[in-house]
Structure 1
Amino acid sequence: MKSKHLILIFLLIVSAKSRAQTNHQTIEVAQVDSKKNNCVEIPSTFSHEILSESKSLNALKSKKIRRVELIYTRYKENADFDQNQLNEDRMSRLNQLLPKLQIDKPEIVWIEQIGATTSTDAKNYFHGFRIYTDVAPVARTYQRTHLNDLANPAVDFLIDNTIGGTFSHPSGTQIHIPANAVIYDNGKPVFGKYTISYSEYRNAAEILFSGLPMEFKDKTGSYLFNSAGMYEIRGTKDGQTLALQKDLSIDFNCTKNEAGVNFYEMNDQTGEWNLLKSDLFSANNPNETPSAKPEIMSANSEQRIKRGVAPDNYETEGSSKVYQQLNLVYGLISSKFGVYNCDQIFRIANKTIISPKYLDVSSKKPIKNQNMICLIDKDVNASFSFGVKQITCNSQGENIFLLFTEDGEIYALKSEKDKRVNLNQKEPEFLMENITNKVKTSDDLKSYLNI
């Protein structure tokens, strides 16, 4: 009788284990990139459950875990091998090593590497986990390291915290800041003057150099952004970052007035977007100019304009840009310092996934120290960033590919309508021009690409 009970208990345990399924999404890649700097890696071995107890796990105990990637290969030595069960066993082992996963409830992603075709190949691929506490987009991380000097410079405004003010940007956007709007991050009050730094990203070149992610996810799935303009606003005093205790109101000059333009806020920690307001230009959001039209102080304090009216030669000191056309959306609320955008969402047509070979057009040799690839489709006001091993794009789009290296060099491939790369090939050759010396600002890139 006792042996029967033991057998029954064993069967129940096995049954429960087989039913246990991790809530996750699965992504296919040829091979994951080499080790990333912003994650903790816990390696395992090919086709085995064993995980290494990394000392780095101790560093995770005091941080909120936001994303867990389980990385493995599709290749099997035995056709009957149960990869899903092995993955579940690895997840179970990770939960034993890191119980706080049950509290943090991070995003779980299984990444299946499909490039290995032999056992030798598979054993040379990374297997195991990558754990992220700060899921900063790869382009944002690269931008801060290599492209900061090329990005749009912020316009700085000096604010008296007891007074506040309304200030204008060269685009025609107006920023309304109430009195006593800011505090220090620790909650202490701010006395005297502080600095507001404000940037806008209005075209694909500016968006590329901003490093901002251009993907939106909700319950219905994943979408890409087609931008009508983005802005970033930060507050500092004596080198210390500030927080908002009162909302800022932004009259934002969009790049276009079209249906389906929504308002989003980005999570600085994860790079994910949150929808704040829908259909900015619909009949339900008339965006009429307020009856009161106070005078506005521009970045150059000697210039003044009225709300909603741009002067003929409106400029800000240090800026040569002039925007004659206003598509103002009044009263967009920024309750936090950070990044906001006015964008339409869409899904890629004629979708294809490619793994290009990147060659220098001059030498015909592989480009060294590849880091990141950016894609600009001329029909979309956006830039999309990828690891160098795999790109998802519109096979019929007028695509521009830009490769960035660890050394800060920039290579470009312009796919003109009459001379397009065959994107129906899985591994097309990209003969790319080194444009590092031609591109020193986002305006240079915009001019070079004719966008």
Structure 2
Amino acid sequence: MKTRIALAVICLTGKSMLFAQSTQEVILFDYDSYALNENASDQLDLFIQKLDVENIKKIEIIGHTDSDGSLVYNQELSRNRAETVQQKFNALALDQKKFEINFQGEEKPVASNLDDMGKQSNRRVEILVEYFDFQIPESFIGKKVIFNIDPKADTSLIIGERGTMLFIPKDAFIDANGNLVQSEVKLSFSEYTNSAEIAFSGIPMTYKRNNEEWNFNSAGMFEITGSSEGKRIEIAENKKLRIDYSLIQKPDNIDFYQLKENGKWNIIQNINKEKPNSMIPDFNITSEVSMKIKKRKGERWIFTRKINKKDKFIGWKPHMPFKDDGNREDATLLGDGTSNDAGHTYPDIVKGLNVESFGVYNCDQIYRLENQTNVLADYVDDKGNKINGPKILSLIDLNYNGAFSFDPKSFICNSKANNVLALFTNSGKLYLTEKGQLQEMDLKNNHNYTIIMKDVSDEIKSSEDLAQYLGIKI
């Protein structure tokens, strides 16, 4: 029978990322027998050899039978089958408290007992191995800031140094019972700005459109959540939070997406980039004087110039003399990447993104994966030793701002791209491939490869370290 691996992301953000993993196997028995035949014995041996023994939390073994014989007889037969399988695990020297043995006789068939093929499927033992939850260190999760706000008042928040702003209307939050939240609200804003921060976030970076799968090239991704008095809250149905978001990069054709509870992305807004205006009139330095002055002997003059401006004055550094390019009502502090302030550049601001519910949001360009190759993999260190307990694999394509998580047994990539693999083991060690290494391997679809990786656990302790190591712009 085929072994099945289940890998689940327990939470997206928090103090650390949790991944839970389990594996299961089904062993079939001959008619009216609890002895393992040769094929079943070999199958079970192979299954046990592949287990991550050090991180086993529990092993559940459940015996079953077909419907031939009495209920009492089949109950005893199913127990004997379960105990036969358990004996095979003795070589692992595991604590017996980790075993949970059940025997259910003929009570839970998986096929009809009216024919021989169905009966064969029912003469089985199911094995479920559950591992301890694996924790990605907090330092590898995106940047997080916490705001405490009064929900009874309109609130504007400046987030980070790039100029992102969040606008929250009053009475925007409700509790689990649908009542308006009156007490202080704690808002959490986590941002993922580069592929090193995305790598172990557990956030999917693929999008399905017209039954075709596309990859994301992120221009900025964030998660926003809220609570009050330690309890989860939601955004009221008739309210929206508005965010003026500072993009990380400026790809063409980007849209605004929300990650739904089913793990799929929904497009919620099209983004049309516009050149953001200055919060104040754009006073351009010029060698020209503002106006021609005619001398008049014996008279005193005060020169003034009226500037029509409807926005609130935030503050500015004057340059003299200057030109006024006109009145600007809908404006931001940041420009479109250019400035007369020599030596400084600023990113695009995307205005008016609507947040109608808490969750993960992404400003993204989509692209098709070229030279798509499915790779079956084993991993060794640079000394040729097998890497034990590979747990979470992330593929980083250095040509895009994104990363993709896989069960380490296989991954999909553009075989011609400049990809780097990052692998966390269940013991917390981090391994990396070298730049260009996968390209040089000339990977073929559905082929098995042994991939050499370097232990970088002592060098890389955070997503920032990972970005610097790989030369990813922070």
Give the TM-score taking structure 2 as reference length.
Answer: 0.59
Identical columns (%): 29
Structure 2 residue corresponding to 1:432, chosen from 437, 449, 453:
453
Structure 1 residue corresponding to 2:150, chosen from 153, 160, 182:
160
Give the TM-score taking structure 1 as reference length.
Answer: 0.62
User: When the two structures are aligned, how many residues end up with a matched partner?
Assistant: 318
Alignment partner, residue 257 of structure 2: 264
Q: Contact between 1:42 and 1:53, CA under 8 Å: does it hold in 2?
A: no
Structure 2 residue corresponding to 1:409, chosen from 429, 432, 436:
429
> Does the residue aligned with 1:356 lie in a helix, a strand or coil?
strand
Residue 175 of structure 1 deviates from its aligned partner by 0.5
Distance 2:312 2:201 in 1: 32
> Does the residue aligned with 2:200 lie in a helix, a strand or coil?
helix
- Aligned-partner residue type, residue 388 of structure 1: P
Distance 1:40 1:374, change over 3 A: closer
Distance 1:128 1:262, change over 3 A: farther
Check if 1:390 corresponds to 2:381.
no
> Does the residue aligned with 1:447 lie in a helix, a strand or coil?
helix
Distance 1:253 1:354, change over 3 A: same
Q: Contact between 2:395 and 2:419, CA under 8 Å: does it hold in 1?
A: yes
Distance 1:295 1:239, change over 3 A: farther
Alignment partner, residue 332 of structure 2: 308
Structure 2 residue corresponding to 1:216, chosen from 186, 191, 207:
207
Query: What are the residue-to-residue correspondences of 1:368-379 with 2, within 5 Å?
Result: 368-379=388-399
Which consecutive unaligned segments of at least 5 residues does structure 1 have? 1-29, 55-92, 97-122, 131-140, 297-305, 312-322
Check if 1:441 corresponds to 2:462.
yes
> Does the residue aligned with 1:154 lie in a helix, a strand or coil?
strand
- Aligned-partner residue type, residue 346 of structure 1: Y
Higher mean alpha-carbon deviation, 374-383 vs 269-278, is at: 269-278
Which consecutive unaligned segments of at least 5 residues does structure 2 have? 9-18, 31-61, 65-108, 113-120, 280-308, 315-329, 336-343
Distance 1:388 1:339 in 2: 25
- Aligned-partner residue type, residue 190 of structure 1: V
Distance 1:179 1:34, change over 3 A: closer
Distance 1:247 1:293 in 2: 23
Distance 1:94 1:203, change over 3 A: farther
Distance 1:393 1:210 in 2: 19
Distance 1:94 1:38, change over 3 A: farther
CA deviations over 1:177-214 (Å, ceiling 9, x no partner): 11111122232332232111112111101111322110
Residue 230 of structure 1 deviates from its aligned partner by 0.5
Structure 1 residue corresponding to 2:370, chosen from 349, 363, 385:
349
Distance 1:369 1:330 in 2: 45
Distance 1:53 1:183, change over 3 A: farther
Alignment partner, residue 150 of structure 1: 140
- Aligned-partner residue type, residue 354 of structure 1: V
Residue 444 of structure 1 deviates from its aligned partner by 0.8
Check if 1:240 corresponds to 2:261.
no
Distance 1:150 1:408 in 2: 12
- Aligned-partner residue type, residue 277 of structure 1: Q
Distance 1:216 1:336 in 2: 20
Distance 1:295 1:244, change over 3 A: farther
Q: Contact between 2:420 and 2:438, CA under 8 Å: does it hold in 1?
A: no
> Does the residue aligned with 1:231 lie in a helix, a strand or coil?
strand
Q: Contact between 1:398 and 1:416, CA under 8 Å: does it hold in 2?
A: yes
> Does the residue aligned with 1:393 lie in a helix, a strand or coil?
strand
Distance 1:403 1:43, change over 3 A: closer
- Aligned-partner residue type, residue 309 of structure 1: L
Q: Contact between 2:4 and 2:25, CA under 8 Å: does it hold in 1?
A: no
Distance 2:144 2:182 in 1: 23
Check if 1:200 corresponds to 2:191.
yes
Distance 1:293 1:414, change over 3 A: farther
Residue 308 of structure 1 deviates from its aligned partner by 2.6
Query: What are the residue-to-residue correspondences of 1:112-191 with 2, within 5 Å?
Result: 145-170=135-160, 171-191=162-182
Alignment partner, residue 96 of structure 2: none
- Aligned-partner residue type, residue 425 of structure 2: T
Q: Contact between 2:7 and 2:22, CA under 8 Å: does it hold in 1?
A: no
